[in-house]
Structure 1
Amino acid sequence: MDEINVARKAIQGEEEAFIALMHMHKEALLRTALAFLKNEHAALEALQETTYRAFKKIHTLKEPAYAKTWLIRIMINYCQDQLKRGKRFVLSEKNLDLPVLDNLAQIELQEALSTLSPTEQQLIYMKYFQDVKIKDIAAIEKIPEGTVKSRLHKTLRTLRRYLEDKGEIDHV
């Protein structure tokens, strides 16, 4: 059964369809939680809370085609709430969810990302770590696609300047 049909059935209250929907998007949700919380235990807890919140509100999902973006939005909101409450976690190689790079490059990239605002970090994580399309980011954030593109451009320019100042890259 395809994702849209599963989402439709979940919206109608079928528990097994909801479970199937969560299984379809479990990896993307965990990667999102790890990107924000940087701790495997906290990410698993976030997945549980997101599952609970989604189950309680699945009937409010209007468009089944956006089930994944809806779930990711719930996860992001939960993670941001956790970070606002001061539940910050120590960065370690074990729980850093970045592409396979050498350890120094991972640390440098994480340091560069940490200079961004939470909104800018979220944008980078969604676009480049989760491969969320600009159209879907716009739907999640409830802003025009052009705004997403301009914010992404500005954020990348900020990262580039930071890395140039640190001597990490030697070209524009």
Structure 2
Amino acid sequence: MDEVEVARKAINGDEEAFVALMQLHKEALLRTALAFLKNEHDALEALQETTYRAFRKIHTLKEPAYAKTWLIRITINYCQDQLKKDKHYVRDGESAESTVSLDSTQLELQEALSTLSADEQHLIHMKYFQGVKIKEIAAIEKIPEGTVKSRLHKTLRTLRSHFEGKGEMDNV
């Protein structure tokens, strides 16, 4: 049974199909939550809340083909609510312990990403860490594909200039 058929059955009230749908997209939802909340505990809590909210509202999903997009949007909304509520933007990672295990390349990438706005970080995470297509990002964010492309281009240019600046400083 394909993804759309599973979603269609879930929309029609099949609880087993709903569980199967959540299993299909669990990894993408968890990565999305991690990108926002920066720690595994909060991300798992976000996944639980997403599951609960989706179960309550699955009947409102109009197009089964967009089930993944719909679930990611629920996750993003929950994460943004948590960040506003808790007012804890952890920009440089989870803790000193988690940073110790990262090699210098990962640290440089993390540092470069921390210079971006939350929206730019989210865009980079979706596109390059989760492999979400531009068309899906546009649907999730409810903006035109061209806007997604131009924002990606601008953000990549910012990252590129960050790394070029680093290289110049290292050579001095």
- Normalised by the size of structure 1, how large is the TM-score? 0.88
Q: How far is the alpha carbon of 1:84 from its aligned partner?
A: 2.1
Identity %: 77
Q: Corresponding residue for 2:80?
A: 80
> 1:102-155 deviations in whole A, cap 9, x for unaligned?
522112111111111111111111100110000111111111111111111011
From the superposition, tell whether residues 27 and 57 of structure 1 become closer, same or farther in structure 2 (CA, over 3 Å): same
Q: How far is the alpha carbon of 1:88 from its aligned partner?
A: 3.8
Q: How far is the alpha carbon of 1:55 from its aligned partner?
A: 1.0
**Structure 1: runs of 5+ lacking an equivalent:** none
Q: Where in structure 2 are the equivalents of 1:1-172 lying within 5 Å?
A: 1-85=1-85, 86-89=87-90, 90-92=93-95, 103-167=103-167
CA distance in 1, matches of 2:50, 2:168: 37
From the superposition, tell whether residues 95 and 65 of structure 1 become closer, same or farther in structure 2 (CA, over 3 Å): farther
From the superposition, tell whether residues 93 and 24 of structure 1 become closer, same or farther in structure 2 (CA, over 3 Å): farther
Q: Whose helix proportion is higher, 1 or 2?
A: 2
- Normalised by the size of structure 2, how large is the TM-score? 0.88
From the superposition, tell whether residues 64 and 118 of structure 1 become closer, same or farther in structure 2 (CA, over 3 Å): same
Q: If you compute each CA radius of gyration, which structure gives the higher value, 1 or 2?
A: 2
**Structure 2: runs of 5+ lacking an equivalent:** none
From the superposition, tell whether residues 168 and 145 of structure 1 become closer, same or farther in structure 2 (CA, over 3 Å): farther
Runs of 4+ aligned residues of structure 1 deviating over 2 Å after TM superposition are 87-96, 166-170
Q: Say what the alpha-carbon RMSD is for the aligned residues.
A: 2.2
> 1:33-67 deviations in whole A, cap 9, x for unaligned?
11221211111101001111111111111111111
Letter in 2 for 1:157: R
